Amino acid sequence: MIAYVKGELILVAEDGVIVEASGLGYDIKMPLSSLSNLPRIGNIVTIYTYLYVREDNVGLFGFLTREDLNIFKLLITVNGIGPKGALGILSSITPDDLRFAVLSEDTKTIAKAPGIGAKTAGKLIIELKDKLKLSDAFEERLAKNLGGDLPNKNEGNAIYEIRKEGIEALTALGYSGAEAAKAIGAVEIKEDMTVEDVLKLSLKNLNFL
C-alpha cells in the first residue's frame, strides 16, 4: 500500500498529476477539487493516495488531505460506485460539501455529479450517513476556515444542538443542506447565543455564498 507520495510536482493534467519521488514518476488521478488547490509545477507536494488493484485495472488515486482520501474510500464502498465514479463525484462536489450534503440528506446537491441521478444519490446517503458525523464535518470546515487550526473537539452539546437546529431551520426556508451547513459552519457560535442569533448571522453569510 502506498500511503502517500511526496515529491516534485512535474505535470498537472485534466484528470491528475505526475509527481517525481526518488527518481520515480507517479501518475496519480485526482478530482478537480484537489487539482484546483495544487501549488505551481516544480514545488514539493504531498499527495495522500489509494492504490486500486483489480485483475484488469490498476490505478493510483490521490488527495491533498487524509480526510478527503477517507471520503473517497467511503464512496467506493457504495454499491455501483467505483474509483472513477467517486472521482467524478468529488470533481463536482468538494469532499467538504459532500459531507454536509450526506448528513443533511441533500440529494439535489449530490445528483449534480455526472452519472449520479436522484436514486443513486439517495442510496449513497443511506449507505454513508451513519459513517459520517456532523461534529467531524464542522471541525473540518472550521479547520479550513481558520487556516488549519482545529476547534476544540470538546465543544459543548448546546453549541452542537444550535448548529443542528440552525441547519434544519435554513433548509426549511428552502436552502439546500450544503448551503445551510456552509453558512452555519462559518459562524463562530458562543455559549450565550441563541438559534435566532446564529440564524441572523448565517443569513448574512448566505448572501455571499
Distance CA 96, CA 117 (A): 20
- Report the C-alpha gap between 9 and 64 in whole angstroms: 13
The number of residues making up the chain comes to 209
| Residue 197 pLDDT level (bands cut at 50, 70, 90) | confident
Radius of gyration over every alpha carbon of the chain, rounded to an integer in angstroms: 18
Dump pLDDT digits (tens) for 66-109. 888 999 999 999 988 889 889 999 998 888 788 878 877 888 88
Confidence class of residue 134 from pLDDT cuts 50, 70 and 90? low
pLDDT digit string (tens) for 87-98? 999 998 888 788
For residues 202 and 183, the answer to whether their CB atoms sit within 8 Å is yes
**Sign of the torsion angle spanned by Cα atoms 125, 142, 204, 196:** positive
In angstroms, rounded to a whole number, what is the distance separating the alpha carbons of residues 169 and 196? 10
Coil vs helix vs strand at 47: strand
Closest C-alpha to 90, from 31, 141, 48, 144: 31
**Cβ burial 102-137 (10 Å sphere, 16+ → b, else e):** bbbebbebbbebeebeeebbebbbebbeeebebeeb
